[in-house]
Amino acid sequence: MRNTLVDPFEDIPRSVVVTANDYSAGSSFPVHAHRRGQFAFASRGTISVATPEGRWLVPPQRACWVPAGISHEMTMSGPVTMLNAFVSLEEAEAEQLPVHCCVYGVSALLKQLLEEAVDLPAMYDVDGRAGKLMNLLVAEIASMPHLSLHAPLPSDTRLARACRRLFNAPSITVGLDMMAAEVGMSRRTFTRLFRAQTGVSFAEWRQQVCLLTAIERLSGGQPVTRVALDLGYASPSAFSSAFRRVLGETPSQYLEARRAA
């Protein structure tokens, strides 16, 4: 069910509005939606975004795009500084921004544009420097690379319910047969329906859920060994290998790169 919030920025007669806010660890926003698209940049901390279609993780120095009207929840892992660019529907369509949620990489230029835009007056001059800056900001958003930090939810109610339970208690040891039995399906039916509705196999999806949780916990300062064992991996090295296969770097390399960003 969509719940469109009326925010002060919604009715500002400007196509783009940028805000900045600090949040304490564990802060969350229950299900809501905006009349504008939301480009949420995690300047500090990690943000988890959930919609009826799945879950997205936004590590530090990355961003998530939530299109206008999409119901979503947000939860902060650790203290978070969030810079938001709220983009009108017309502007989003003109720049061909996605109609589905996605996580973006953020260039040094885009970060600087967001930081500069925060200090602009709400009624900035659209024909002056501020207007040009905002136009460049949206164009830069549209050019950013998408990141594979998403675990989709199947549309089937039984599958979605079981998947949400795995979201809440992720483990690489949860097997296909266990999930099929939980939803009352044969192994073959479960496998076919799961892939048809998510686009990936259950094993790939389970690994993605575990890796999203791992990134969230590692970004919060938890040690690699503890995270690996809590997620059911046989050893930290097995966890590191799985992490590297998907993300192209080990957990320690990933964290070092985020700190240097």
Both tokens assigned to 86: 């709220």
Q: Which residues, listed in sequence order, are joined to residue 21 by a DSSP beta bridge?
A: 82
Q: How far apart are CA 146 and CA 46, in angstroms?
A: 17
Which of the four CATH numbers 3.40.50.1860, 2.60.120.810, 3.40.50.2000, 3.40.50.150 does domain 8-147 have? Answer: 2.60.120.810
Q: How far apart are CA 22 and CA 31, in angstroms?
A: 20
Band the pLDDT of 8: cuts 50, 70, 90.
low
Q: For the chain, which residues make up each domain, given as ranges?
A: 8-147, 153-260
Question: What is the chain's length?
Answer: 261
pLDDT digits (tens, 9 = 90+) for 141-182: 999 999 889 999 999 999 999 999 999 999 999 999 999 999
Q: Which residue has the tokens 């196999």?
A: 201
Task: Give the model's pLDDT for residue 260.
Answer: 57
- Average pLDDT, integer, range 187-196: 96
Class in CATH terms, 153-260:
mainly alpha
Task: Give the model's pLDDT for residue 259.
Answer: 63
Task: Give the model's pLDDT for residue 4.
Answer: 45
Contact 169, 213 (CB under 8 A): no
Task: Give the model's pLDDT for residue 256.
Answer: 75
Angle, CA of 161, 226 and 63, to the nearest 5°: 60
pLDDT digits (tens, 9 = 90+) for 68-107: 999 999 999 889 999 999 999 999 999 999 999 999 999 9
pLDDT digits (tens, 9 = 90+) for 16-46: 999 999 999 889 999 999 999 999 999 998 9
